[in-house]
Structure 1
Amino acid sequence: MTKNYFPASENKLFDAGGGLTRKVAAHDKNVMCVEVHFETGTVAALHHHPHEQITYVISGKFEFTVGDKTYVVGPGDSLYKQPDIVHGATCLEAGTLLDIFTPHREDFL
């Protein structure tokens, strides 16, 4: 059965370590929304995965590497990461990102 409503009070905060926490919000097998919180200086190491990903910056300032390019981004900026592209980030000023994945990240559930 498809779930259509994901109240914030039911979204558990997961401590991924190193100054990074996340909450999985609305999701189904084809798409997933994740709120990610970074403390200043937190590094999301370079990695890749088979999912397409869009990152929207809600707050803070970040340096993102996507493939062979690096971008400094802030509130309102967004990034697209195609499947299997190497990417990572360093948080320059504490903030929050909204990540959208397709298909969903089974490893986040």
Structure 2
Amino acid sequence: MFFFYKDSRQERAGEGVARRVLAHGGKLMCVQVSFEQGAIGPMHSHPHEQLTWVRSGVFLFTIGKEQREVRAGDSLYKQPNIPHGCVCLESGVLIDLFTPQREDFL
């Protein structure tokens, strides 16, 4: 029921991208993803619902056929199986919530 940042481990999730599972349980998961400027989150899709909160930085996000620039404080919703990805315009951190959990991240 308690997850401490100091106990979590960061792993590489791409060139200039690092992922850290912050908490998980039941059908919900919280993940921090850190991006260096210029790093790319390639287009992909998955069967999970996903909410993203931009903690810091500036990103160009594509969700389906729509593309928007987002920055600190903005949020995004990705429905299951919709293609999405991003380019980091200014280094930053995203906080992702998934339901159900991403078993492939554990």
TM-score under structure 2 length normalisation: 0.98
Give structure 2 stretches of 5+ with no counterpart: none
What SS does structure 2 have at the residue aligned with 1:49?
Answer: coil
Alignment of 1:1-109 (within 5 A): 4-109=1-106
Divergent runs of 4+, >4 A = none
Shift of 1:62: 0.1
Aligned residues: 106
1:40-89 deviations in Å (ceiling 9; x for gaps): 00011110000000000000000000011001000000000000000000
Give the TM-score taking structure 1 as reference length: 0.95
Q: CA RMSD in A?
A: 0.6
Q: CA deviation at 1:17?
A: 2.6
